[in-house]
Amino acid sequence: MEDMLRVGVITTTHGIRGEVKVFPTTGSPKRFEEIERVVLASKKDELELEIERVRYFKNLVILKFKGIDNINDIEMYKGAELYVDRAHGDKLEEGEYYIADIIGLKVFDEAGELLGEVSDVIETGANDVYAVRRKGKKDLLIPAIKSCILSVDIEEGKMTVRLLDGLLDL
């Protein structure tokens, strides 16, 4: 799944004809109109499915997959994640990165001292926050803003940060 990008999570079924409600994890939920196929990954299965129809309900996307026409065929996949091939991912602007590429980066301060590794990206609405796992210490939460994130090098697996005053004390 390294070459795949998560675009959504099935939250529940919708109706009895095999539709599902999906919480989108992509930049724009309207992207589902452009996506032809997804890989559904659950604890038990990994299926490639063709999207037949896309609708919207509040902050969710309602998807109908080709060949799944009954609630019983899809109900077991509540909580499953939907992925697309990296080649079909959103086009990124300079300074933007896929969450999958950020997780696992080694994080260094300005002096070059290793702080830890990015274990999660928390999406807050205003800006993302990087959770940095540290050995024997509480996770460090670093806001993903220009004044804190000095550089990101995906190729080298490295991020350099400037820590705000008091951040290590939390």
Tens digits of per-residue pLDDT, 39-74?
999 988 899 999 999 999 999 999 999 999 999 999
Contacts for 115 with CB less than 8 Å, ≥ 6 apart: 107, 108, 109, 132, 134, 140, 161
Residue ranges per domain, the chain? 4-88, 99-169
pLDDT at 159 over 90: yes
The predicted-structure confidence for 96-115, as pLDDT tens digits, reads as follows: 888 888 999 999 999 999 99
Q: What pLDDT is recorded for position 170?
A: 60
What is the CATH topology of the domain spanning 4-88? Elongation Factor Tu (Ef-tu); domain 3 (2.40.30)
Domain 99-169 annotated CATH 2.30.30.100:
no
CA atoms within 13 A on the CB side of 3: 3
| Interval 73-77 mean pLDDT | 93
Share above pLDDT 90 across residues of the chain, in percent, rounded to a whole number = 66
Average pLDDT, the chain: 89
Q: How confident is the model at residue 91 (pLDDT cuts 50, 70, 90)?
A: confident
CA separation (Å) from 134 to 79, 112, 117, 124? 29, 15, 7, 22
Report the distance separating Cα 82 and Cα 49, nearest Å: 10
pTM greater than 0.85: no
Two structure tokens written together for 17: 């004809």
The model's confidence at residue 2, banded by pLDDT at 50, 70 and 90, is low
pLDDT at 143: 92
Q: Which of 22, 156, 25, 11 is nearest to 90 (CA)?
A: 25
Intrachain domains 4-88 and 99-169 with the same fold = no
Residue 31: the pLDDT is 86
